[in-house]
Amino acid sequence: MENLVLASRSPRRCELLNRIGLVFETDAPDVDETCSLPAGEAVRILSLRKAQAAAESHPGSFILAADTLVSFREEALGKPLDPPDAIRMLRMLSGQTHQVYTGVTVISPDGRVFTDSDRTDVTFASVDDAEIADYVRSGEPMDKAGAYALQGRAGMWVTHLDGSDTSVIGLPLYLVRSLLLQAGYPLLAAAGTHHIV
């Protein structure tokens, strides 16, 4: 079976790939995550950077990488710098619709590059300062783009989602499937015996 490397330290991305039964190793070299492009373009470039960095040390493997940014009124929101920054972001998102962009890149063993991105619109209910402060104290926002986790407590705030839930959590599985198939990864054989209970 061909080797698949997930170039990520995100436990959510690992969990999502495990969910579809793929066997993979992880290796996430450090990359420069600064990019001044709009979020929708930046996520593709950043996922490409992550994939290329991992490909250097894994010749002959399939490489998969992703990057997620939240965007509200043209401002790209990555991970909060500190708790006050998380509070600032969540106050902005309260009662509003924002965009979540996730870029995905696959590199095939012969070095061909396949890259695409997803845009999903998420609408939050109004959340007051006390609830935001309590959420930030929980620590959940600190390693998440936009300072929230759809798969966690912030799932209670989502009144509408137009797009892909797995994309918001960091890895749009429909793009993983399509890019791996384009790259020639034997997806059916790899996931064939897996089923959830």
Ligand X SMILES: Cc1cn([C@H]2C[C@H](O)[C@@H](COP(=O)(O)OP(=O)(O)OP(=O)(O)O)O2)c(=O)[nH]c1=O
Q: Which residues are catalytic?
A: 67
Assess 170 for contact with ligand X (CB under 6 A): yes
Classify 63 as helix, strand or coil.
Answer: strand
> Minimal distance in Å, beta carbon 145 to ligand X?
4
Tell me how far apart the alpha carbons of residues 189 and 140 are, in angstroms, rounded to a whole number: 36
DSSP string over 113-135: EEEEEEEEEEEEPP--HHHHHHH
Distance CA 47, CA 36 (A): 15
Q: Compute the least distance from the CB of residue 12 to ligand X, in Å.
A: 4
Would you give the DSSP letter of residue 24?
-
Using CB atoms within 10 Å of the CB of residue 20, give its burial: 0 to 12 exposed, 13 to 18 middle, 19+ buried.
middle
> Which listed residue (4, 76, 149, 176) binds ligand X by CB under 6 A?
149
Q: Cα separation of 161 and 192, whole Å?
A: 30
| CB of 103 or CB of 185, closer to ligand X | 103
| Least Cβ distance, residue 192 to ligand X (angstroms) | 26
Our CB check for ligand X shows the closer of 2 and 27 to be: 27
145 part of the interface to ligand X, by CB under 6 A:
yes
136 touches ligand X by CB under 6 A: no
Q: Is 68 in the site for ligand X (CB under 6 A)?
A: yes
The reply to whether 90 sits near ligand X by the rule CB under 6 A is no
Ramachandran region of residue 136, left (φ > 0), alpha (ψ -120 to 50) or beta? alpha
| 118 binds ligand X, rule: CB under 6 A | no
- Rounded to the nearest angstrom, the gap between the alpha carbon of residue 59 and the centroid of all alpha carbons in its chain is 24
Binding ligand X by CB under 6 A: which of 106, 144, 166, 179?
Answer: 144
- Pick one of 135, 148, 157, 185: the residue that binds ligand X (CB under 6 A): 148
Q: Which residues bind ligand X (CB under 6 A)?
A: 8-10, 12-13, 28, 50, 67-68, 70, 79, 100, 143-146, 148-151, 168-170
